[in-house]
Structure formats: C-alpha cells, structure tokens
Amino acid sequence: MSKQCDTHLSDADRETLSLGLTHGQSLRRRARVFGRAPSTVSRELARNTTRGHPYRACTAQTRAGARATSRIRGAGST
C-alpha cells in the first residue's frame, strides 16, 4: 500500500474531487471524504484551476507532473 502524501492529492483523489465539485459538493465536504485538511484541497484548487474554467482532474494531474519534473530537474543544477 502506498503512503499518502499530506500535502498533495493522488490522481484518484483528483478525479473524486472533480466529480464532487461538479455535483455541487463543498470543498470542506470533499476534504472530509479524503481525510485531509480543507487547506490541502483549497491549495489543490488554487494550483490547478484556470481562471474562467472549472477544476479538471486530468489537467490537474498533468500540471502536478510538470511541476514535479521541473523541481527534480532544478534540484541538481545548483
């Protein structure tokens, strides 16, 4: 079983978040479902929602992967 990161959502969590928001559920309710702090879900939305467009799990996962890759590349080039 993989360890849950405290600050980032998994791709399955992102998909569940997207569906819940589409059905009108609140950010706090989604956080309770995940067993996460509301601030974690709020930061996820802030990082991965484009102005004027709804939160989309596939876009969020792509952006999270790109950020992780750039952090890894940037870490060794000091």
Q: Is residue 62 part of a domain?
A: yes
Concatenating the DSSP letter of every residue in 37-74 gives -HHHHHHHHHHH--TTS---HHHHHHHHHHHHHHHHHH
pTM for the structure as a whole: 0.73
Look up the domain containing 65 and give its range. Answer: 11-69
Contact assessment for residue 74 and residue 65, using Cβ atoms and an 8 Å cutoff: no
- Structural domains in the chain (count): 1
In a domain, 22, yes or no: yes
**Range 23-32 burial, b when 16+ CB lie within 10 A, else e:** eeeeeeebbe
2 lies in a domain? no
Q: What is the pLDDT along the chain (78 residues), one digit of tens a residue?
A: 445 666 778 889 999 999 999 999 999 999 999 899 999 999 999 888 888 888 999 888 888 888 888 767 665 555
